[in-house]
A and B are shown apart, each in its own frame.
Chain A
Amino acid sequence: EDKVVQSPLSLVVHEGDTVTLNCSYEVTNFRSLLWYKQEKKAPTFLFMLTSSGIEKKSGRLSSILDKKELFSILNITATQTGDSAIYLCAPLGSAAGNKLTFGGGTRVLVKP
């Protein structure tokens, strides 16, 4: 059975801080790992990571994958109140068909 563990469960920071979110996984026949941001209902896609050690960046967000140690990190620098959300990690493995197994998420609250 595929497993995904995200940490921390939640954190509170102030604007300008940097946050690091962790995602560890056990997935049969790993293909890629996706990060999503969920503010209200619909998660919005952030990154898809397939290769180890290659950092993906989008503005203040960046993410990297370590396929040997089976984890991924999502970093947010110079946080803003609009970054407050639940961040979801979802590895994709071929043994599970094509359905994503989502972690429980990390709830981030950025205070002004």
Chain B
Amino acid sequence: GAGVSQSPSNKVTEKGKDVELRCDPISGHTALYWYRQRLGQGLEFLIYFQGNSAPDKSGLPSDRFSAERTGESVSTLTIQRTQQEDSAVYLCASSPRTVGYEQYFGPGTRLTVT
């Protein structure tokens, strides 16, 4: 079946511009996660959505980062006024439930801020 999809796969933007990254989770998965992975580093949690509950935003690095999800469907991660340190691969994952269930990752969006 279809896995998690993300778009765009690559994005190059100028410093100071806003970018929007999209994630389509696996159908029926109630939980959705965003992670960031800088070059040569581990995965860094950003934000987590579960159904219609308030999202866990504890991993967002600054107020320039925000994310939305409508119900159990598509999510968008928005980075405003991008900085060079925002350059990373942004990974989205979904899982069928929240507690202790494996997360399925999308292919990621590679963001380069010049």
Contacts and interface: CB of A to CB of B under 8 A. Distances in A.
Interface of A: 31-32, 34, 36, 41-45, 48, 50, 88, 90, 92, 94, 97-105
Contacts of B20: none
B26 interface: no
Contacts of B98: 98
A31 B106 CA distance: 24
Interface string B77-96: 00000000000010100000
B89 A41 contact: yes
Contacts of A42: 4, 91, 105-108
B91 A41 contact: yes
- Sorted from nearest, which 8 A-B pairs have the closest CB atoms? A41-B108, A102-B43, A42-B105, A32-B100, A98-B98, A104-B42, A99-B45, A45-B102
Interface residues of B, number: 28
Contacts of A97: 48, 56, 58
A104 B48 CA distance: 20
A3 B4 CA distance: 28
B104 A98 contact: no
B107 A45 contact: no
Contacts of B105: 36, 42-44
Contacts of A45: 102-104
A100 B103 contact: yes
A97 B55 CA distance: 10
B21 interface: no
Nearest to B33: A99
Interface in B34-68: 35, 41-45, 48, 50, 56, 58-59
A86 B33 CA distance: 20
19 contacts: A31-B100, A41-B110, A42-B91, A42-B107, A42-B108, A43-B91, A43-B105, A44-B105, A45-B104, A48-B100, A97-B48, A97-B58, A98-B48, A98-B98, A99-B48, A99-B56, A100-B45, A102-B43, A105-B42
